[in-house]
Amino acid sequence: MPKPTKGARLGGGPAHERLMLANLAAALFTHKSIKTTETRAKRLRPVAERLVTFAKRGDLHARRRVLATIGDKTVVHELFTEIAPQVALRDGGYTRITKLGFRKGDNASMVQMELVLEPVTPKAKPAKASAAKASAPVAEETPVEAPEAEVVETETVEADAEAPAEEAK
């Protein structure tokens, strides 16, 4: 879990903040979406995303590390069996924060924090590879351009010479 920031903590000391963030993460994994203040959601995002990353690994050590943070076996089981397979192809960005407005009582900025469980469309990785391959030969061809130009000229001359011969027939 990321080290708590210096200065004012959410609700008191660092231990209380860790417990509160663990409870918020458990609620997020149970309900897939929670309504909370913007400050709490921003503090919860790295904690929740790290727990999802552990769940994607899926081994016993990762399960025990998540259990050290959350403590509720049913929530951890749901995280490993239901949520992790849905985000298996996603490389980070497992949570989404949407602003809702301000709370009536104290005018605190409220947000809806939810898990992003939609299937991800993988980006075209071959396009990056082909772009890298295309840029590499260009760098290699720059010193060799003069001989290639000569070859191209001779081919066009041969093609021009054959064309009148075919017209004469």
**Residue 131: how many other CB atoms lie within 10 Å:** 10
Give the pLDDT confidence score for residue 13 in this predicted structure.
84
Task: State phi, psi for 97 to the nearest 5 degrees.
Answer: -115, 125
Give the pLDDT confidence score for residue 100 in this predicted structure.
96
Give the pLDDT confidence score for residue 56 in this predicted structure.
95
Check whether residue 104 and residue 161 sit in a common domain. Answer: no
Q: What is the CATH number of the domain that holds 61?
A: 3.90.1030.10
Check whether residue 134 and residue 105 sit in a common domain. Answer: no
pLDDT, averaged in runs of 10, over the chain (169 residues): 70 88 96 95 95 95 96 94 93 94 95 92 66 55 50 50 54
Q: Residue 135 sits in which domain range? A: 125-168
Give the pLDDT confidence score for residue 77 in this predicted structure.
96
Distance set, CA 77 to CA 16, 19, 25, 32, 100 (Å): 24, 19, 14, 14, 31
Check whether residue 137 and residue 93 sit in a common domain. Answer: no
Give the pLDDT confidence score for residue 81 in this predicted structure.
95
Give the pLDDT confidence score for residue 133 in this predicted structure.
58
Give the pLDDT confidence score for residue 14 in this predicted structure.
85
Check whether residue 61 and residue 27 sit in a common domain. Answer: yes
Residue 9 lies in a domain: no
Residue 4 lies in a domain: no
